[in-house]
Amino acid sequence: GEAIHTPALGLLKKVFVGGIVHVVPPFYSLISGINEQQDKDRKLWIEKTQTAYTNGIHLAFSNDNDNARSNSRLDSTTKESAAALICPIIGSGARGAPFEKSGRIAISSALQWQRQKQDQQLKKDDALQTIRFGVLDDDHADYLSETLDELSSSSSI
Protein backbone atom coordinates (compact mmCIF):
# COMPACT_ATOMS: atom_id res chain seq x y z
CA GLY A 1 0.00 0.00 0.00
CA GLU A 2 3.03 2.26 -0.04
CA ALA A 3 3.20 5.10 -2.60
CA ILE A 4 6.27 7.02 -3.75
CA HIS A 5 6.77 9.89 -6.17
CA THR A 6 9.67 9.85 -8.64
CA PRO A 7 10.69 12.07 -11.54
CA ALA A 8 9.90 10.95 -15.05
CA LEU A 9 13.09 10.23 -16.95
CA GLY A 10 14.07 10.20 -20.61
CA LEU A 11 11.20 10.43 -23.07
CA LEU A 12 8.67 10.08 -20.24
CA LYS A 13 9.60 13.59 -19.01
CA LYS A 14 7.56 15.12 -21.81
CA VAL A 15 4.46 13.13 -20.98
CA PHE A 16 4.67 12.96 -17.19
CA VAL A 17 5.93 16.46 -16.39
CA GLY A 18 5.06 16.27 -12.70
CA GLY A 19 6.63 12.86 -12.22
CA ILE A 20 5.26 9.41 -11.60
CA VAL A 21 3.53 8.03 -8.51
CA HIS A 22 4.32 4.36 -7.93
CA VAL A 23 2.20 2.10 -5.73
CA VAL A 24 2.71 -1.52 -4.84
CA PRO A 25 -0.48 -3.52 -4.43
CA PRO A 26 -0.51 -6.81 -2.57
CA PHE A 27 -0.40 -10.15 -4.35
CA TYR A 28 -3.76 -11.81 -4.81
CA SER A 29 -3.83 -15.48 -3.97
CA LEU A 30 -6.61 -17.55 -5.42
CA ILE A 31 -8.85 -18.42 -2.55
CA SER A 32 -10.93 -21.52 -3.01
CA GLY A 33 -13.62 -22.47 -0.58
CA ILE A 34 -14.47 -20.45 2.47
CA ASN A 35 -12.95 -20.72 5.88
CA GLU A 36 -11.95 -18.21 8.53
CA GLN A 37 -8.33 -17.76 7.36
CA GLN A 38 -9.32 -17.32 3.71
CA ASP A 39 -11.90 -14.73 4.73
CA LYS A 40 -9.21 -12.84 6.69
CA ASP A 41 -6.83 -13.04 3.70
CA ARG A 42 -9.52 -11.71 1.36
CA LYS A 43 -10.34 -8.80 3.67
CA LEU A 44 -6.65 -8.00 4.12
CA TRP A 45 -6.11 -8.01 0.35
CA ILE A 46 -9.05 -5.60 -0.15
CA GLU A 47 -7.80 -3.33 2.64
CA LYS A 48 -4.23 -3.22 1.30
CA THR A 49 -5.39 -2.59 -2.27
CA GLN A 50 -7.64 0.26 -1.10
CA THR A 51 -4.72 1.68 0.87
CA ALA A 52 -2.50 1.55 -2.24
CA TYR A 53 -5.07 3.55 -4.22
CA THR A 54 -5.71 6.00 -1.38
CA ASN A 55 -2.00 6.67 -0.86
CA GLY A 56 -1.36 7.02 -4.59
CA ILE A 57 -4.28 9.38 -5.16
CA HIS A 58 -3.36 11.47 -2.13
CA LEU A 59 0.27 11.72 -3.20
CA ALA A 60 -0.63 12.67 -6.78
CA PHE A 61 -3.13 15.36 -5.79
CA SER A 62 -1.51 16.66 -2.63
CA ASN A 63 -0.33 20.28 -2.68
CA ASP A 64 2.23 19.49 -0.02
CA ASN A 65 4.52 16.89 -1.53
CA ASP A 66 7.75 18.20 0.02
CA ASN A 67 8.64 14.84 1.60
CA ALA A 68 7.86 12.90 -1.55
CA ARG A 69 9.65 15.39 -3.76
CA SER A 70 12.77 15.51 -1.63
CA ASN A 71 12.88 11.72 -1.48
CA SER A 72 12.61 11.52 -5.25
CA ARG A 73 15.03 14.35 -6.07
CA LEU A 74 12.24 16.50 -7.54
CA ASP A 75 12.26 20.24 -7.15
CA SER A 76 10.84 20.74 -3.67
CA THR A 77 9.97 24.37 -4.43
CA THR A 78 7.12 23.21 -6.67
CA LYS A 79 3.95 22.79 -4.63
CA GLU A 80 1.45 22.30 -7.42
CA SER A 81 -0.67 19.21 -7.37
CA ALA A 82 -1.35 17.13 -10.43
CA ALA A 83 -4.32 17.98 -12.61
CA ALA A 84 -4.81 14.38 -13.69
CA LEU A 85 -3.90 10.92 -12.52
CA ILE A 86 -3.72 8.17 -15.11
CA CYS A 87 -3.79 4.82 -13.40
CA PRO A 88 -3.88 1.15 -14.35
CA ILE A 89 -6.14 -1.21 -12.45
CA ILE A 90 -3.49 -2.13 -9.91
CA GLY A 91 -3.23 -5.73 -8.81
CA SER A 92 -4.99 -7.13 -11.86
CA GLY A 93 -1.88 -7.86 -13.90
CA ALA A 94 1.15 -9.68 -12.58
CA ARG A 95 -0.25 -9.54 -9.03
CA GLY A 96 -2.95 -12.02 -10.06
CA ALA A 97 -6.19 -10.37 -8.96
CA PRO A 98 -9.32 -10.76 -11.09
CA PHE A 99 -9.99 -7.53 -13.01
CA GLU A 100 -13.51 -7.24 -11.59
CA LYS A 101 -12.29 -7.27 -7.98
CA SER A 102 -9.45 -4.81 -8.60
CA GLY A 103 -11.63 -2.63 -10.83
CA ARG A 104 -14.33 -2.32 -8.19
CA ILE A 105 -11.74 -1.27 -5.60
CA ALA A 106 -10.30 1.27 -8.07
CA ILE A 107 -13.69 2.91 -8.66
CA SER A 108 -14.58 2.74 -4.97
CA SER A 109 -11.31 4.41 -3.98
CA ALA A 110 -11.73 7.17 -6.56
CA LEU A 111 -15.28 7.86 -5.38
CA GLN A 112 -14.17 7.93 -1.74
CA TRP A 113 -11.47 10.47 -2.65
CA GLN A 114 -14.02 12.57 -4.55
CA ARG A 115 -16.47 12.53 -1.64
CA GLN A 116 -13.71 13.43 0.80
CA LYS A 117 -12.69 16.39 -1.38
CA GLN A 118 -16.32 17.54 -1.54
CA ASP A 119 -16.61 17.28 2.24
CA GLN A 120 -13.53 19.48 2.60
CA GLN A 121 -15.27 22.16 0.49
CA LEU A 122 -12.72 22.78 -2.22
CA LYS A 123 -11.32 26.27 -2.46
CA LYS A 124 -12.27 28.24 -5.56
CA ASP A 125 -8.67 28.26 -6.77
CA ASP A 126 -8.27 24.48 -6.64
CA ALA A 127 -7.73 23.04 -10.08
CA LEU A 128 -10.04 20.43 -11.50
CA GLN A 129 -8.50 17.07 -10.72
CA THR A 130 -9.27 13.98 -12.76
CA ILE A 131 -8.61 10.29 -12.29
CA ARG A 132 -8.49 8.18 -15.44
CA PHE A 133 -8.11 4.42 -15.49
CA GLY A 134 -6.23 2.75 -18.30
CA VAL A 135 -7.67 -0.53 -19.56
CA LEU A 136 -6.83 -2.74 -22.53
CA ASP A 137 -10.24 -3.48 -23.97
CA ASP A 138 -13.85 -2.30 -24.26
CA ASP A 139 -15.19 -5.02 -21.95
CA HIS A 140 -13.04 -3.73 -19.08
CA ALA A 141 -13.98 -0.13 -19.85
CA ASP A 142 -17.67 -1.10 -19.86
CA TYR A 143 -17.27 -2.91 -16.53
CA LEU A 144 -15.66 0.16 -14.94
CA SER A 145 -18.38 2.42 -16.33
CA GLU A 146 -21.14 0.16 -14.97
CA THR A 147 -19.38 -0.08 -11.60
CA LEU A 148 -19.05 3.71 -11.47
CA ASP A 149 -22.78 4.09 -12.17
CA GLU A 150 -23.64 1.49 -9.52
CA LEU A 151 -21.37 2.85 -6.80
CA SER A 152 -22.18 6.50 -7.56
CA SER A 153 -25.86 5.87 -6.99
CA SER A 154 -25.35 3.95 -3.75
CA SER A 155 -24.77 5.70 -0.45
CA SER A 156 -22.25 3.14 0.74
CA ILE A 157 -19.30 1.76 -1.14
Is the CA virtual torsion 77, 81, 85, 87 positive or negative?
A: positive
The answer to whether the beta carbons of residues 91 and 29 sit under 8 Å apart is: no
Q: How confident is residue 34, by pLDDT bands cut at 50, 70 and 90?
A: low
Q: How confident is residue 103, by pLDDT bands cut at 50, 70 and 90?
A: very high
pLDDT of residue 48: 92
Residues 6+ apart with CB under 8 A from 22: 3, 4, 5, 6
Residues 6+ apart with CB under 8 A from 57: 85, 109, 110, 113, 131
The answer to whether the beta carbons of residues 51 and 1 sit under 8 Å apart is: yes
Q: How confident is residue 125, by pLDDT bands cut at 50, 70 and 90?
A: very low
pLDDT tens, residue by residue, 45-102: 999 999 999 999 988 887 554 444 334 333 333 445 667 788 899 989 888 889 999 9
Residue with the bigger pLDDT between 31 and 24: it is 24
Which CB contacts under 8 angstroms, 24+ apart, belong to 92-97? 95/25, 95/26, 95/27, 95/28, 96/27, 96/28, 96/29, 96/30, 97/25, 97/28, 97/45, 97/49
Among residues of the chain, what percentage have pLDDT more than 70? Answer: 76
pLDDT at 123 over 70: no
